[in-house]
């Protein structure tokens, strides 16, 4: 298919859709895969706002502008195996000489030198058309819809239940704000972990999308109706979820006045971006959009004050019995800037629940069936259950996901795998392709939220044992390790999750196409990637990670 026909069929802005099947449009699967995943990121089933190329997370984009998308497509359709495409903040800027096992695409998004690394400078440059915000997997073309964070959210909520309720979460009320691309995983993760869930979002369309995709059970615009449903579910100890259209600060205030104290309280609004992500208390969506344009300084001030009020209520509920933890959107930092001096008096979800998994090299391992056939995901699920029969959590997760998770765009799956497990899974998938048991190659990637790929002092690297929270050598080492290992495309971003100035992180994607070349790359990349997590945490002094150096023979 020539370029113009391809654009007509798959990339007529703002209508984007990935090709399906086993027929190549590009010269190889090494370029076909990033092409399909870019378009999948922008599919309306997946992206929050395809018209603006926004995938999730407030303003997280897959590419800088429609012309950049078309230029990326044109290049990937003809790129040779001895060349690699350079992407600078969503814009193709050149082709370099490389080699057959090198990454086909090298991506850098949102990066600013430290003294300029704040939202003010970023937004000034964005208005000039010089940069874009890539979030984590928006600009690295491996977002798979709300499922992408689902198991990590489930692991977090389940760990919270084990730690604070001895695993007995039935009848416990979990409340959170934000039901967008990331926060939208919360209701399903919460009910899978046994809770009754109340989620709040000022944008009714976000809740409607979660309702349509099966991530939330009920939707209402009435606080009274929401509480009637919640009280019924709690009384019956039913694991059900309710999405309430409203501002989270207003709803928390009403819960406080009604003496309804959640058992667990967190937040996943897009607080990482006070100007473009968070809606201040007292403003409708339209009022917020108007004020954002007419007076961004006033808007940001209102947002910070609103976050401070939100944290203030959360802290009061904590005193009255709620388990409160930060869910990595930098709400605490901006609440502190808004005047809440005790904003950091509770911890984030990584030091609270997830770090022991990081010490094992575990993290979010995701894969996508480029065939577009859901049967391929069922086959890979079954293959993993047969390969890891001793991993009871994995078996439980995959069995549940097959029933409860609806696909958005290309069929995909995510699970948490660690050292040795990722490499083994990659080779299994490659053999499935080689033997023709699945319809087309499989893309393997992950969130940037992983054991050794992020420096984020208010999230993944909060409260490191040796105080190395802000050292970002580790994600750079991760990037270099996966580049020389032969990932199909790699990325390095700034600001994902917590906003500009607060994080740096690396991403990788590698394709299992059934070839010997792919097998060699998979073995290197899916060894290097989790090994970085163990090295990073062992260096910080975590005993479990130090022990795993020996257990996995990672000594040097």
Backbone angles phi and psi of 369, in degrees to 5: -85, 105
Residues 133, 174, single domain; the answer is: no
> Nearest Cα to 491, choosing from 501, 480, 502?
480
CA distance 447 to 38: 15
Given this model, what pLDDT does residue 28 score? 97
Residues 312, 166, single domain; the answer is: yes
> Nearest Cα to 380, choosing from 425, 435, 421?
425
Residues 202, 190, single domain; the answer is: yes
CA distance 341 to 308: 9
Residues 137, 154, single domain; the answer is: no
Q: What angle do CA 528, 148, 6 make, to 5 degrees?
A: 95
Residues 298, 416, single domain; the answer is: no
Domain boundary among the residues 286, 315, 346 is at 346
Count Cβ atoms below 10 Å from residue 205 Cβ, excluding itself. 13
Q: Is residue 83 part of a domain?
A: no
What is the full DSSP assignment across 51-92? GGTEEETTTEESSSSHHHHHHHHHHHHH--TTEEEEEETTEE
Residues 134, 153, single domain; the answer is: no
Percentage of the chain surpassing pLDDT 70? 100
Q: Is residue 556 part of a domain?
A: no
CA 177 to chain centre: 17
Peptide bond into 14 cis (omega under 30): yes
- Please identify which of the residues 160, 359, 415, 451 carries the catalytic annotation: 415
Residues 211, 133, single domain; the answer is: no
CA distance 546 to 339: 40
Given this model, what pLDDT does residue 393 score? 85
Parts of the chain with a pLDDT under 50:
none
- Pairing mode, if any, of strands 91-97 and 83-88? antiparallel
> Nearest Cα to 246, choosing from 254, 236, 238?
254
Given this model, what pLDDT does residue 97 score? 98
Given this model, what pLDDT does residue 182 score? 84
Residues 116, 73, single domain; the answer is: yes
CA distance 59 to 52: 9
Max CA distance (Å), the chain: 65
CA 458 to chain centre: 16
Residues 514-529, buried b or exposed e (16+ Cβ, 10 A)? bbebbbebbbbbbbbb
Q: Is residue 84 part of a domain?
A: no
Given this model, what pLDDT does residue 477 score? 98
What is the span of the domain harbouring residue 58? 3-78+89-95+102-143
Domain boundary among the residues 307, 327, 346 is at 346
Q: Is residue 34 part of a domain?
A: yes
> Nearest Cα to 310, choosing from 370, 372, 353, 246?
246
Residues 29, 153, single domain; the answer is: no
Residues 181, 260, single domain; the answer is: yes
Given this model, what pLDDT does residue 58 score? 86
Given this model, what pLDDT does residue 369 score? 98
CB-count exposure of residue 146 (10 Å: 0-12, 13-18, 19+): buried
CATH assignment of the domain containing 280 = 3.40.50.10730
CA distance 371 to 247: 41
Strand partners, 12: 15
Helix (H) or strand (E) holding 400: helix 392-404
> Nearest Cα to 497, choosing from 54, 41, 49, 57?
57
| Token pair for 341 | 């001096």
CATH assignment of the domain containing 442 = 3.40.1770.10
451 is an active site residue = no
Using the 8-state DSSP alphabet, how is residue 348 labeled? B
Q: What angle do CA 180, 181, 184 make, to 5 degrees?
A: 60
Domain boundary among the residues 311, 346, 381 is at 346
CA distance 203 to 294: 21
Backbone angles phi and psi of 313, in degrees to 5: -70, -40
Q: Is residue 213 part of a domain?
A: yes
Given this model, what pLDDT does residue 210 score? 94
Residues 338, 370, single domain; the answer is: no
Answering whether pTM is above 0.75, one says yes
CA distance 30 to 518: 9
Which position has the token pair 């709803």? 251
What total number of domains does the chain contain? Answer: 3
Does residue 101 contact residue 517 with C-beta atoms inside 8 Å? yes
Residues 283, 364, single domain; the answer is: no
CA distance 206 to 181: 8
| Token pair for 273 | 């971006």
């Amino acid at each position: 298919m020539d370029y113009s026909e391809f654009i007509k069929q798959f990339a007529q802005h703002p209508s984007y859709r990935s090709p399906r099947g086993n027929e190549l449009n590009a010269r190889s699967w090494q370029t076909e895969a990033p092409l399909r995943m870019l378009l999948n990121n922008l599919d309306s089933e997946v992206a929050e706002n395809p018209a603006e190329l926004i995938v999730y997370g407030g303003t997280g984009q897959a590419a800088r502008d429609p012309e950049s998308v078309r230029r990326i497509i044109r290049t990937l359709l003809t790129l040779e195996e001895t060349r690699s495409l350079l992407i600078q903040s969503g814009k193709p800027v050149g082709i370099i000489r490389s080699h057959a096992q090198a990454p086909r695409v090298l991506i850098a998004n949102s990066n600013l030198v430290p003294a300029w690394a704040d939202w003010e400078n970023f937004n000034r440059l964005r208005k000039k058309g010089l940069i874009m915000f890539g979030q984590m997997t928006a600009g690295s073309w491996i977002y798979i819809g709300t499922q992408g964070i689902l198991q990590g959210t489930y692991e977090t909520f389940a760990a919270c239940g084990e730690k604070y309720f001895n695993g007995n979460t039935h009848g416990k009320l979990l409340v959170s704000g934000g039901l967008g691309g990331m926060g939208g995983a919360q209701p399903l993760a919460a009910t899978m972990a046994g809770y009754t869930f109340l989620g709040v979002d000022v944008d009714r369309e976000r809740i409607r999308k979660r309702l349509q995709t099966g991530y939330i059970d009920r939707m209402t615009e009435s606080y009274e109706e929401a509480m009637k449903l919640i009280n019924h579910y709690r009384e019956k100890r039913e694991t059900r979820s309710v999405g309430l259209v409203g501002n989270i600060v207003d709803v928390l205030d009403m819960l406080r006045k009604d003496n309804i104290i959640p058992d667990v309280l967190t937040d996943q609004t897009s607080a990482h971006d006070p100007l473009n992500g968070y809606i201040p208390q007292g403003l409708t969506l339209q009022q917020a959009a108007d004020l954002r344009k007419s007076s961004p300084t006033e808007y940001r001030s209102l947002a910070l004050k609103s976050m401070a009020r939100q944290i203030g209520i959360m802290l009061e509920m904590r005193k009255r019995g709620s388990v409160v933890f930060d869910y990595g959107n930098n709400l605490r930092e901006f609440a502190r800037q808004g005047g809440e001096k005790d904003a950091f008096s509770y911890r984030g979800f990584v030091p609270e629940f997830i770090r022991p998994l990081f010490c094992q090299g575990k993290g979010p391992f995701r894969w996508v069936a480029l065939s577009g056939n859901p049967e391929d995901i069922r086959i890979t699920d079954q293959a993993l259950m047969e390969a890891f029969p001793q991993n009871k959590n994995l078996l439980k997760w995959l069995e549940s996901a097959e029933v409860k998770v609806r696909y958005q765009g290309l069929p995909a799956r995510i699970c948490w795998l660690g050292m040795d497990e990722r490499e083994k899974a990659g080779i299994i998938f490659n053999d499935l392709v080689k033997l023709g048991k699945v319809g087309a190659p499989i893309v393997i990637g992950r969130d940037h939220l992983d054991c050794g790929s992020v420096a984020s002092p208010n999230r993944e690297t909060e409260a490191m044992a040796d105080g190395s929270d802000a050292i970002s050598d580790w994600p750079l080492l991760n990037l270099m390790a996966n580049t020389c290992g032969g990932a199909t495309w790699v990325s390095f971003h700034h600001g994902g999750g917590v906003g500009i100035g607060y994080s740096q992180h690396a991403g990788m994607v590698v394709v299992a196409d059934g070839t010997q070349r792919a097998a060699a790359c998979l073995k290197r990349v899916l060894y290097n990637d989790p090994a970085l997590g163990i090295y990073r945490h062992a260096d910080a002094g975590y005993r479990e990670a130090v022990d795993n150096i020996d257990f996995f023979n990672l000594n040097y």
